[in-house]
Amino acid sequence: MTPLIELPGMAPGLVPVTEPATGAVLGGLPDDTADDVRDAVKAASAAQPAWAALPPTARADVLRRAALVLEEHRAEAVRWLVRESGSVRGKAEHEVGSVLDELWAASALPTQPYGELLPDTPGRHSFARRVPLGVVAVISPWNVPLLLGARAVLPALALGNAVVLKPDPRTRVCGGRLLAALLDRAGVPADVFRLVDGGAEVGRALVEDPAVAMVAFTGSTEVGRRIGAETGRLLKRSSLELGGNNALLVLDDADPATAASLAAWGAFFHQGQVCMAAGRHIVLESVAEEYLHHLSRRADGLTVGDPWQEDVALGPLIDEAQAARVQRIVGASVAAGATVRAGGTRRGPMFRPTVLAGVTPEMPAFTEEIFGPVAPVLVVSDVDEAVEVANRTSYGLVASVLTGSPERGTAVAERLATGIVHINDHTIDDNAFVPFGGWGASGNGSRHGAGRSWEEFTQWQWLTVRGQMQPTSF
């Protein structure tokens, strides 16, 4: 079987593709320039009308073929996710499965109804219909690179747009080349999907290009604000899926051992490098010590290492800068009075799962999105204080409420200022069929998910038709 990706070796002028666990160079790829971006957008813009004019079933067929290609090359996709993004194998397998769901969901979009018949005067028909935007720019992150690019690329293509994708420079293979190869093998016409590589200069050129009708960005709130400001100035659409500093509330009627199991997954999955990670554990004081005991024991029992060579629970952080940032936040919080109950150390990019006790709302571990395997635990006296502390953030992505009473959990959920709330489950959950997105600093109100794709990636056109022209009174 011919592989999807054959990566060139390193050569002068190429940027290394590295393995975060070991620092090994897996190959090299060129960076694009602003001129390359303009050429890609121009080509995509020229190719888009013919793609949109295809029968809906033809676009659906391409996406179904892409799903079959990914099924055939599943092991290769998993390998790249493990080696280039530091995913453990279970996370990589799950990510590939989620992309398959996105492919099948997107393939169903082209044949759905796309308009309305409106009331009008006799002799004239009035319609509202959804039409493609044109060229959609997708800028995707490094943490779940294949899925978080695909969930915008695929529905945008399905609905007749052309797409230019810029993956994060740290995951340009599993976040870019892999998806490009899938679509090429499936028969997406030339230039309907284009890939550009590079850093801030390339991203800026993509956002500012006048032929780009929409920017779909997933990443940090800081960068999202800049993109939102620029797209607002240019009066183009943006979909901003940003950060989170998510609260996990443990009420006094929750079983502490089971709560700690859910919390460990929410805090430590993929080394905590997930926007949905449980970043603030808010625990009622009557169960706090038992909860800390169980959570610390679970953290101490997790293995950390190279996921390509070992069967481990946690792999590396994406790079040295991220590892240093997590270490800084932990160190500053300890200096401010927090205590380390588990972990707190690292070996290169391998950061031990860490539990911090005695955290207060003024500490960096509370105020910052850590994006590392750290569980800061805050103790509160009652449910009212738990809700107030949970809402003391500009972020509003997801929260979880762990309780012995689903009714009590639902009542608490109604008081939490987040776009997603889970009762008696961990914070990390997403699929192709839900309206996924946050409030406040976690996004700009856009939603991913099959049921929202028509709203995100098309625009309304009002169309009227008369059988023949009628004179006016002028």
Q: Rounded CA gap, 452 and 419, in Å?
A: 15
Dihedral class, residue 195 (left if φ above 0, else alpha if ψ from -120 to 50, else beta): beta
Structure tokens at 133: 């935007």
Q: Are 373 and 271 in contact (CB under 8 A)?
A: yes
E strand or H helix that includes residue 375: strand 374-380
Q: What is the DSSP letter of 10?
A: P
- Closest among 158, 162, 109, 122 to 138, alpha carbons compared: 162
Residue indicated by tokens 């500093």: 245
Tell me how crowded residue 120 is: count the other CB atoms within 10 A of its CB.
13
Alpha-carbon distances, residue 4 vs 66, 74, 124, 471 (angstroms): 12, 10, 53, 62
Q: Rounded CA gap, 443 and 386, in Å?
A: 24
What 3 state SS string does 206-234 have?
HHHCCCEEEEEEECCHHHHHHHHHHHHHH
Beta bridge pairs of residue 116? 128
The gap between the terminal CA atoms of the chain, to the nearest Å, is 71
Residue 75 carries which side chain, given as an amino acid letter?
A
- Alpha-helical (H) ranges within 368-468 are 383-390, 406-413, 453-457
- Closest among 216, 219, 55 to 151, alpha carbons compared: 216
E strand or H helix that includes residue 439: strand 439-440
Q: Are 149 and 167 in contact (CB under 8 A)?
A: yes
- Closest among 245, 288, 281, 257 to 375, alpha carbons compared: 281
Q: Rounded CA gap, 49 and 133, in Å?
A: 11
- Catalytic residue annotation: 241, 275
Residue 235 CA neighbour count, 13 Å, CB half: 0
Q: Are 430 and 436 in contact (CB under 8 A)?
A: yes
